[in-house]
Amino acid sequence: MPARTTRSEKLDLRLTPNAKRALQAAAAASHRSVSEFVLESALARADATLADRRSFSLNAAQWKAFLAALDAPPRPLPRLKRLLKEPGFFDAGPNQ
């Protein structure tokens, strides 16, 4: 059995009475407390949302193109170069 981690953080949220009733009904149907149900549901949604940002798979041709893009020299960005040469807002003195 995995070790339990102490829950020390709290998250408050406001919801409508209908939303609260729906969560209570769903929690009861899953034999969970509302807190357990909401936490498990929210973490599952977070995992799904972040999944494509953590890893991705490529076939051989895509992998080759990906490596080529990483190894390629940066393309010139003249507008960015010009922007970085201009004095910034905070670079100006108080009398300017």
Question: How high is the pLDDT of residue 95?
Answer: 61
Q: Model confidence over 21-31: pLDDT tens digits? A: 999 999 999 99
CA angle at residue 83 from 82 to 85, to 5 degrees?
65
State how far the Cα of 10 lies from the Cα of 2, in Å rounded to an integer: 22
pTM above 0.85, yes or no: no
List pLDDT tens digits, range 32-80.
Answer: 999 999 999 999 999 999 987 877 789 999 999 999 999 999 999 999 9
What's the CA gap between 77 and 25, in Å, rounded? Answer: 56
Q: How far apart are CA 91 and CA 96, in angstroms?
A: 10
- Encoded amino acid at 53, one letter: R
Query: Who contacts 58 (Cβ-Cβ below 8 Å, separation ≥6)?
Result: 66
